[in-house]
Amino acid sequence: MAGSLKRANPNLIEDGVLIRAMRDANVPKFLKHDLPLFNAIIQDLFPTIEITENDYGNLEKVIKEIIVRNNLQLHKPFITKVI
């Protein structure tokens, strides 16, 4: 996963690519109360890297539209799991 992210974004620093790959692969599997621990571990492993949220652009917009269309609640953890 990290390799494909690096090839898609060659200008990103490797630590940032690793963090993003670990987050993308693991966060959907965690329960809500596990996320702060995971984020703390990532921060401990990479203390000098600023961890930013991923921008999913159109994908996130369409997911929100479908959630609203189906009369479901817009809930950030649910949207993250769908992504």
**pTM of the entire structure?**
0.64
How do the pLDDT tens digits run along the chain, 83 residues long?
Answer: 888 888 887 888 888 888 888 888 888 888 889 989 998 999 998 888 887 777 788 999 999 999 999 999 888 878 877 88
Residue 59 in tokens: 């994908």
What pLDDT score was predicted for residue 40? 92
Residue 21 in tokens: 């790959």
The sign of the dihedral angle between the CA atoms of 78, 54, 4, 13 is negative
The sign of the dihedral angle between the CA atoms of 1, 39, 36, 41 is positive
Q: How many CA atoms lie within 13 A of 11 on its CB side?
A: 0
Residue 34 in tokens: 């596990």
What pLDDT score was predicted for residue 17? 86
